[in-house]
Amino acid sequence: MATEAMNTLARLNWTLRLLMGLGLLGLALALPTAEGSAASSAPASHVAAVFAGFDGVWHTNFGMLELRASDDTGIRFTGVMTDIGAPRALGIVTATLSNDGSLSGVWRLGNRRGTFSDLTLDAHHETFTGAASGYGIWCGARLGRPLPPGCAFSGVWTIELNGGGSGTATIIQTGMSVFGSYSTRLASGRLTGSVTFVDGLPVLNGKWSTARRGGLFKAYLMGFDARQFQGNFDGKFAFCGWRSGAAKPDACLK
């Protein structure tokens, strides 16, 4: 999976250079932002800190994102994005820094386009969370850092396994790799695996293990908002999860 991430990063860097060479990034700046044509005037104290924070390459809940400041003020950003569910498409992103230090703007990927808003950095500038039309949640992390809780598979889940009542699972997703633990009334163990995409949505394929035995499992996110998943242990035992405040999926087994 590291090779796949590096290949995607190489494509991003090549595409960014190509777009800049063709002048398309300048053209993209003419696209309207989510806040209209008037750009925000972020305080200087935000500019220095947030410029350093958003600038660079991110692994997101549905692909890759590279952002670069497009002027000397550090208020406006331009970049490229990918959607792993549509691997042949490369998109353009334009954004403006708001007074509160969050990033909002527009994205365009093939014949699709939409807006995003309130991309907000964590205190260490290693992750961000926000919202994007067409995806619900847009979140990400620096390469090699875990996705923030609530992003894709990362975070704490309430789970049900093989009808044995509810339990919990704590999962950490870094890039496309996942590890974590689970505990129910009947069993507890470890989870390891990797994320692929099926029909445009993330699917976690991996191995479960306890002190005495182990097997295979799958978990299918039911949307990019990452509120529920369906799945199975060993292809036949129901395995599903839901976030705090969300309902258990109607069908647990998939």
pLDDT digits (tens, 9 = 90+) for 108-140: 998 899 999 999 999 999 999 999 999 999 999
Q: What is the pLDDT of residues 173-195, one digit of tens each?
A: 999 999 999 999 988 999 999 99
Mean of all residue pLDDT scores within the chain: 84
DSSP 8-state class, residue 211 = S
pLDDT for residue 183: 96
> Is the predicted pLDDT of residue 243 greater than 50, yes or no?
yes
Identify the pLDDT of residue 53.
79
Check pLDDT > 80 for residue 12.
no
46 phi and psi angles, rounded to 5 deg: -75, -40
Domains in the chain (CATH in brackets) are 2-142 (no CATH), 155-242 (2.40.128)
Q: What's the 3-state SS for 45-98? A: HHHHHHHHHHCEEEEECCCEEEEEECCCCCCEEEEEEECCCCCCCEEEEEEEEC
How far the first Cα of the chain sits from its last, in Å, is 25
